């Protein structure tokens, strides 16, 4: 039997989803009689991630002291390493005032069903100064044009802390039945196929030739048993390509261009933070909880606009993550591009003899322009079968 990497912070994974059907039905019935509140999308995503075991060993939402400590130095007041605060933030708590047990309702599903039951240990109100401090530490900016900053500062300043029991995994199970996986299910699947050394690739975009080759390079360099392509299925910023289109394009690429049984295509239910370096560390933590030994961290990982330096998400692991805080290792990737000289995708740092003219470069904007007008992407940039799926999507927007 394969021996997987230990989860973060405990010997075994402790997902907060109530797996016993009878107990869960009883709790759902109980929840209907509890004071309830519709939580924000970020808090619902946090519940899904805790439910699936991704945020192990957390047992619920953090209080203000822990959140501030995590923002300041990436550990809770008890010393647990964690890169970002995991919060249930509200603007108004009048419907749950004085309650010890409350039902949390999902903002992203019609009818707002109960997603979790929370034991209320405290209700803390952050000051404007505390919100600003956390924002600066997590995002390295307080510019409200940054989508993560805007989202974080728009959901209220009241933090409801305490343990939760998760009763469903929101819309992810129904909308993405083939792709959505909990961390514990990914571990089970890895054990079933006998993988031990596994490299994870994080994506919120379709995968082009450079991404494909990056996975292959890491897989071969590390002598890995398999690759976990792990895509974000939650809320993105306007203009990003929807999850179902990304999913279809990635499946087509893997089907045609990777050997059988070397890649698992999966997804997780979380809203993108666009927090650059801090989010890269969170990505590493929950990939360790999923059973991965390595995470590919490339240029501008989890970034947006020009808020972060190209390789800040690699530097944070060397300079700010304490030795031994995580067991997962980082595979540091340079910018990858198609070399016209060599007729293949290469990591640019390996070829100092190349000039810019030796590579095929396309900006995201240029790609979108070409797809919108029905212009074929160069084969050096995108596999034709992948480009067709993307082009069909963009053309449908114009109808």
Active site residues: 204-205
Task: Note whether 230 and 199 are within 8 A (CB).
Answer: no
Among 116, 138, 176, 187, CA closest to 308: 138
Is the previous residue joined to 57 through a cis bond, with omega within 30 degrees of 0? yes
- Give the pair of three-digit tokens for residue 304: 């947006």
Instruction: Say how many residues make up the chain.
Output: 399
- Integer Cα distance of 181 and 167 in angstroms: 16
Q: Rounded to a whole number, what is the distance in angstroms from the first to the last CA of the chain?
A: 53
- What CA–CA distances, in Å, run from 273 to 95, 124, 222, 307, 374? 28, 22, 29, 13, 31
- Integer Cα distance of 31 and 241 in angstroms: 36
Q: Which residues contact 331 (CB under 8 A, 6 or more apart)?
A: 199, 218, 221, 222, 294, 295, 296, 297
Dihedral over Cα of 74, 79, 80, 86: its sign: negative
CA dihedral 107→111→116→122, nearest 10 degrees, is: 60
Helix or strand run (H / E) with residue 264: strand 263-268
Cα three-residue angle 231-236-239, rounded to 5 degrees: 110
């Amino acid at each position: 039997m394969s021996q997987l990497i230990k989860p973060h912070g405990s010997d075994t994974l402790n997902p907060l989803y109530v797996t016993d059907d009878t107990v869960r039905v009883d709790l759902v019935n109980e929840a209907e009689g509890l004071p309830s509140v519709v939580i924000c999308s970020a808090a619902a995503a946090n519940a899904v991630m805790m439910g699936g075991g991704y945020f192990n060993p957390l047992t619920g939402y953090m209080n203000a002291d822990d959140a501030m400590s995590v923002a300041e130095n990436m550990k809770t007041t008890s010393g647990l390493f964690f890169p970002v605060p995991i919060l249930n933030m509200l603007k108004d708590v009048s419907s749950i005032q004085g309650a010890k047990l409350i039902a949390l309702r999902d903002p992203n599903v019609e009818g707002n069903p109960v997603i979790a039951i929370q034991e209320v240990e405290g209700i803390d109100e952050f000051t404007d100064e505390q919100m600003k401090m956390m924002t600066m530490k997590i995002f390295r900016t307080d510019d409200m044009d940054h989508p993560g900053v805007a989202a974080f500062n728009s959901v209220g300043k009241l933090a409801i802390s305490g343990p939760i029991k998760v009763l469903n995994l929101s819309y992810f199970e129904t909308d993405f039945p083939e792709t959505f996986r909990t961390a514990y299910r990914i571990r089970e699947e890895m054990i079933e196929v006998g993988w031990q050394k596994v490299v994870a690739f994080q994506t919120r975009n379709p995968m082009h030739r450079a991404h494909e080759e990056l996975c292959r390079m890491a897989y071969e360099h590390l002598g890995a048993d398999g690759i976990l392509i792990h895509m974000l299925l939650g809320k993105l910023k306007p203009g990003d390509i929807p999850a179902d289109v990304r999913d279809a394009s990635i499946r087509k690429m893997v089907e045609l261009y990777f050997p059988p049984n070397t890649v698992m295509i999966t997804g997780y239910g979380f809203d993108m933070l666009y927090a650059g370096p801090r989010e890269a560390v969170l990505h590493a933590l929950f990939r360790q909880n999923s059973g991965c030994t390595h995470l590919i961290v490339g240029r501008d990982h989890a970034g947006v606009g020009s808020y972060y330096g190209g390789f800040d998400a690699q530097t944070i692991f060397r300079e700010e993550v304490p030795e031994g805080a995580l067991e997962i290792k980082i595979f540091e990737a340079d910018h990858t591009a198609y070399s016209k000289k060599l007729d293949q995708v290469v990591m640019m740092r390996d070829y100092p003899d190349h000039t810019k003219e030796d590579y095929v470069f396309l900006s995201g904007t240029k790609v979108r322009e070409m797809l919108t007008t029905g212009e074929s992407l160069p084969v050096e940039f995108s596999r034709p079968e992948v480009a067709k799926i993307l082009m069909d999507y963009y053309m449908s927007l114009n109808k």
